[in-house]
C-alpha cells in the first residue's frame, strides 16, 4: 500500500497537478496514517521538509528526491514502531539514517524519467506529423504509468528491506544508544534551520525560516515533547 501511495504522490512532483502533495510534510503523514501511525509519518516528513525547504526543482536543477525518501522513511518508521518499544523519535531517526540515500537514488530516477518522458513526447509529436492515428492521450497515459511504475519499483523493495534493517538495529541497540537516537532526532531540523539562518537578510529566507520553525514547534507539541 505504501509503495502504491508513494507512487501516486511522486506523480505530483512534476507530472500531475503539482498541488504540493508530494511535499514530505504532506506525503509522509498520509503514508503513516495509511499504515496506522500518522505521528511516525509526520515526524518523518518534518525532517525532510526542513532539510529541503530551500531546494526547489527550478529549471534543470534536480534536487535530492525528498518525496521518495520521506515516503520510505514514514512507511518504515510506522512498521518498525509497531514492533519496537523504542521511542518514536528514535525509530524515526534510525529510519532516516538508513533511508536518507534514497533521496539521491530518487534524483537519478527523476533524471531517468525525464529522459523517458522526452522520448515519449518526441514519439507523440512524430505520430501527429505522420498522421498515424494514435491519440496523444495514450502517450500521456504511458508517461504517467512510467512514472508510477518507476517509483513503485524503487519504494516496494526499499520499504521491505528497510523495515527488516531498522527493526533489527533497534532490537540490538542498548538503552543508552536508543536514548541517543531519540535525542539526535532533534539535531536534524536544527541543521536545516541553521542553513536557513545564513540568509536571513533576504525576505524569502525569513519566510522559510518562520515556516520551518513553526513546523518544528508543531511536531514537538503534537508529539508531546
Q: What is the pLDDT of residues 95-110, one digit of tens each?
A: 999 998 998 888 888 8
Residue with cell 507539541: 221
Residue 122 lies in a domain: no
Residue 32 lies in a domain: yes
H or E element that contains 136: helix 136-172
Q: Is the dihedral of CA 73, 27, 41, 164 positive or negative?
A: negative
d(CA 36, CA 40): 9
Residue 131 lies in a domain: no
- Confidence band of 195 (pLDDT split at 50, 70, 90): low
Give residue 157's pLDDT. 92
Residue 126 lies in a domain: no
Question: What's the N-to-C CA distance of the chain in angstroms?
Answer: 30
185-204 in b/e form (b: 16+ CB < 10 A) is: beebbeebbebbeeeeeeee
Give residue 25's pLDDT. 87
Give residue 93's pLDDT. 92
56 or 95, higher pLDDT: 95
Decide if pLDDT at 161 tops 90. yes
Total domains in the fold of the chain: 1
What range defines the domain where residue 176 resides?
2-111+155-223
Amino acid at each position: 500500500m505504501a509503495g502504491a501511495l508513494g507512487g501516486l504522490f511522486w506523480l505530483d512532483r512534476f507530472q500531475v497537478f503539482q498541488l504540493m502533495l508530494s511535499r514530505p510534510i504532506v506525503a509522509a503523514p498520509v503514508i503513516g496514517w495509511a499504515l496506522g501511525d500518522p505521528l511516525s509519518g509526520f515526524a518523518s516528513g518534518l525532517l525532510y521538509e526542513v532539510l529541503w525547504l530551500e531546494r526547489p526543482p527550478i529549471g534543470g536543477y534536480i534536487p535530492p528526491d525528498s518525496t521518495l525518501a520521506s515516503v520510505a522513511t514514514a512507511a518504515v518508521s510506522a512498521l518498525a514502531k509497531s514492533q519496537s518499544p523504542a521511542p518514536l523519535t528514535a525509530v524515526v531517526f534510525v529510519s532516516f539514517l538508513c533511508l536518507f540515500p534514497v533521496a539521491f537514488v530518487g534524483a537519478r530516477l527523476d533524471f531517468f524519467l525525464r529522459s523517458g518522458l522526452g522520448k515519449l513526447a518526441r514519439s507523440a509529436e512524430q505520430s501527429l506529423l505522420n498522421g498515424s492515428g494514435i491519440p496523444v492521450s495514450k502517450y500521456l497515459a504511458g508517461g504517467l504509468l512510467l512514472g508510477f511504475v518507476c517509483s513503485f519499483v524503487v519504494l516496494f523493495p526499499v520499504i521491505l528491506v528497510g523495515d527488516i534493517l531498522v527493526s533489527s538495529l533497534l532490537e540490538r541497540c542498548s538503552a543508552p544508544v536508543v536514548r541517543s537516537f531519540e535525542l539526535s532526532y532533534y539535531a536534524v531540523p536544527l541543521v536545516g534551520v541553521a542553513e536557513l539562518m545564513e540568509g536571513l537578510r533576504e525576505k524569502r529566507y525569513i519566510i522559510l525560516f518562520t515556516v520551518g520553525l513553526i513546523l518544528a514547534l508543531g511536531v514537538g507539541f503534537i508529539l508531546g515533547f
